[in-house]
């Protein structure tokens, strides 16, 4: 018995050693990966800094000139020269009616089509058939349940008579 326990203890200790080694390797590998990523980030930031220095060199900055077109600010509204307004474009009544009544008219037409289809003789017959089939199956289900219940009650009565 002690041999089995010592073998079991040795196996557990070997397993622990293997687990510790794998954890240590993972940590060192993860640290090496992080260091490599940090070095790459440093190199990239150095490259970007060099590019920025090249762009901002004193000779490369061009003097600013006045903007070609005036910039408009909200507070400047009304202070400039007033331009005459364009003549309004005449909109035909037909276009206005089409825009205001078009979408509701399409919705109403689709709704009436759906109602007409729902109340058609074919749909009513299909619904009537499905309802009749469902009523028949529910009746059969109820009859089956009643028969099963009566069977259980009679079996209980027979069991009571046998015990008494």
The pTM of the full predicted model, rounded to 2 decimals, is: 0.33
Give the whole-angstrom CA distance, residue 36 versus residue 163: 86
Per-residue pLDDT band at 145 (split at 50, 70, 90): very high
pLDDT value, residue 80: 67
The b-or-e profile of 102-129 (16+ CB within 10 A means b, else e) is eeeeeeeeeeeeeeeeeeeeeeeeeeee
| Model confidence at 121: pLDDT above 90 | yes
Q: What is the CB-side half-sphere exposure of residue 88 using CA atoms within 13 A?
A: 3
60: DSSP letter: G
Structural contact between residues 131 and 123, judged by C-beta atoms closer than 8 angstroms: no
User: Above pLDDT 70, what percent of the chain?
Assistant: 85
pLDDT for res 63: 59
pLDDT at site 78: 64
Q: To which H or E segment does residue 62 belong?
A: none
Q: How far apart are CA 103 and CA 109, in angstroms?
A: 10
**Helices marked H in the chain:** 2-55, 93-118, 121-163
| Residue 62 pLDDT level (bands cut at 50, 70, 90) | low
- How far is it, in rounded angstroms, from Cα 1 to Cα 9? 12
Over residues 33-50, the pLDDT tens digits come to 888 888 999 999 898 888
Q: What is the mean pLDDT of residues 140-148?
A: 98
């Amino acid at each position: 018995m002690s041999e089995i326990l010592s073998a079991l203890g040795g196996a557990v200790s070997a397993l622990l050693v293997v687990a510790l080694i794998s954890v240590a390797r993972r940590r060192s590998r993860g640290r090496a990966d992080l260091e490599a990523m940090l070095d790459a980030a440093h190199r990239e930031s150095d490259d970007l800094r060099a590019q920025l220095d090249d762009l901002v060199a004193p000779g490369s900055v061009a003097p600013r000139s006045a903007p070609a077109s005036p910039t408009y600010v909200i507070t400047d509204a009304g202070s400039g020269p007033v331009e005459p307004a364009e003549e309004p474009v005449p909109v035909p009544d037909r276009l206005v009616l089409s825009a205001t009544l078009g979408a509701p008219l399409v919705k109403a037409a689709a709704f009436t089509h759906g109602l007409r289809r729902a109340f058609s003789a074919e749909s009513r017959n299909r619904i009537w058939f499905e309802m009749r089939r469902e009523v028949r199956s529910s009746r059969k289900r109820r009859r089956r349940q009643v028969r099963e219940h009566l069977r259980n009650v009679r079996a209980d009565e027979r069991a009571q008579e046998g015990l008494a």
